[in-house]
Structure 1
């Protein structure tokens, strides 16, 4: 698994440029604990799992994924491919596999960046910030969308309802933001799949996320189903 990563302490008074939900996929408990502590000191919310199966169950709620390629159940490259086929979740491979071929395979499998152990924590943070900048500038968005009591902040990736924060997953946010960006338009299912999930077609995937959003927003009328076409943001 390589040498444990030594986390550099956060500099006094330094605030992170943004707080992210980070999913750490790491089977080495010492590496995982060190990495989690470093990320939390920089203000990030961290979830840690130690298998590929657990990663595939959890990645949609994360803003960025740090993925060790040496996992006990699934090959890390296969996890990369499955995450990428499901959408555009930012992902950095963090691994002891250090050859040029390993790096090429990791990037081809869908990783946005590739970092070889042992590495410096400041380098990891710089790479995470670079990846997140690229992701956030891919699609220009209005910074804040107001829709009655509903507030969608694209920069902070937050949803507020009557001033109360609603916890949503990355894909739920992307779906709600897409609908709110076109409040008077019915968005076809195919466009939703292409824009949110990279054209990986699954009717059940959309319906599950719509159902979850309706539940979290407290009313089914927030998202209107237009049969045979798609979905539209409702007025509550």
Structure 2
């Protein structure tokens, strides 16, 4: 496999797969991150009947085969599924075999990886700070936005990066729920798989793999820079308070 062949100009189909992957991963992150923050906070701070069940349900996609998760999504959101039928009859909207459906599948698979670092971050936040703010008359929402969430920010960034990377590379649930439709649901992972199924597809598959790797590396580096900056600000704030 020569370098010249590998680094030939990418084709329109490859650009389409890249663009679609970024769109799918971004939508998955935007939709799932608020829910991940809420669930992680509940699991960290609340104790209630069904706590263990909720925790198990959150991490179920990690232990189930991705194809099974995709099949459950198809049963639920497909045109004959309970949610899919309602969406189709009321709004004329279908999710299965669309790029939005691909984003849902990717988001469901990425959800546990968002929740885990967020929960660990909330566990590390001293509840006494919230109690002290409450005693000073600070409302609950303001306490959460100005104390808890900023202190948990490194976990939020870690969860966002892990979730985005997982959504970008999701394969099994996506191909089951959204299929492998060129220009519609064929993400980078599906494009790599497609290329490997045809003779002579090794070169474009390798090129797409390098693109995926580059995106993942850039995302991790950016997250590390942001976390380091937050840590520096926190240390500076502590020094100011003790100075």
TM-score interval for Structure 1 and Structure 2 normalised by the shorter chain: under 0.3
**Larger Cα-atom Rg:** 2
Structure richer in helix, relative to its length:
2
Question: Which structure exhibits the higher relative contact order, with contacts defined as CA atoms closer than 8 Å and separated by 6 or more residues?
Answer: 2
Structure richer in strand, relative to its length:
1
TM-score under structure 2 normalisation?
0.25
